[in-house]
Structure 1
């Protein structure tokens, strides 16, 4: 496998969040020939507003759409906020779904994983994120699931858990295998 590009979207803006740490694990475990690119500009993307979605969309939106267009697949790593999708991630989905029927992730394979407080590790948010990206046009790989209860990490970086590192590597391998 050579020259494959995977866009990584992290639903938490906090620099030291467990989900950002999971993104680090994903980057570190990428198969040979696969580059994971974490998009770090979600905080700058304005709320979706159709009045802004013109020929001169804001630069952060152009950057997000370009990163998605350049990707062969996407990995979304997100926590759960109040039982659902973090607002910053839902906003990205809204921008990436446009123009309707021809968004930047249309028909590209996408997997959703993450960690959250609680014993289910963010499963509700992950399910809702899969649903929203699927409606937006991505080809969601439904059987790729990883919801890590934050308490299972005992305050350690996810890279210190062999089980989590192996699970992230498995998700990446299956996501990459679904390209094409």
Structure 2
């Protein structure tokens, strides 16, 4: 388990392939809002993860290079932060596909999502704040054995009105809410590590 004297390593990724999506921007803002003893790294390469196919998995020895890179990054992180959009009142296919790949055991037999703490956030220009997508992602991650942070939750709605294009970040209120999520994740990871001995 991790050494409590070092910063927690949080791997963050968005369930969107668009570089400047509201959820990528939300993660960039989260990096600013993170507590001092937390290092948040935004992973921008889920586009390198192909559609899940057991034939491809078998032929490639457990996954393509893009899958192996992501799996290794998840394995070394203390926790994950996932920002999801909501498409047609549902979880984005690209994000579900990423979770499906990560749920498969690596060549050495390790399942990188089992027991991994995860916090979920989401932003949308719409009025619902990704509630349905987050619920579906929470359900999928529970099936993988991930430890999903129960609260606080963050549903950013009307994202175009709370994102400041000049600064490149969300407004102060959203930053405050992001920090609350990250502080709760930090406490929870520390507690999990302490209970594991």
- The answer, yes or no, to whether TM exceeds 0.5 is yes
Structure 1 residue 58 and structure 2 residue 68: aligned? no
Deviation at 1:3, TM superposition (A): 2.6
Query: Which residue in the other structure is 2:153 paired with?
Result: 145
> 2:88 aligned to 82, 85, 100, which one?
82
> 2:43 aligned to 39, 46, 49, which one?
39
SS of alignment partner, residue 163 of structure 1 = helix
Query: Which residue in the other structure is 1:112 paired with?
Result: 120
Query: Which residue in the other structure is 1:103 paired with?
Result: 111
SS of alignment partner, residue 9 of structure 2 = strand
Contact 2:125 2:160 in 1 (8 A): no
> 2:185 aligned to 167, 175, 179, which one?
175
CA RMSD between the two structures:
2.0
Contact 1:2 1:32 in 2 (8 A): no
Structure 1 residue 18 and structure 2 residue 22: aligned? yes
Aligned pairs for 1:124-135 (under 5 A) are: 124-135=132-143
Contact 2:46 2:98 in 1 (8 A): yes
Contact 1:79 1:114 in 2 (8 A): yes
Worse-matched range after superposition: 55-64 or 150-159: 150-159
Contact 2:162 2:171 in 1 (8 A): no
Gaps of 5+ in 1: none
Structure 1 residue 67 and structure 2 residue 73: aligned? yes
Cα deviation 1:78-131 (Å, max 9, x = unaligned)? 110111111111111001111299521211111110111322211100111111
Gaps of 5+ in 2: none
TM-score by length of 1: 0.91
The whole-number CA distance in structure 2 between the counterparts of 1:160 and 1:113 is: 14
Corresponding pairs, count: 180
SS of alignment partner, residue 82 of structure 2 = strand
Contact 2:30 2:178 in 1 (8 A): yes
Deviation at 1:151, TM superposition (A): 4.9
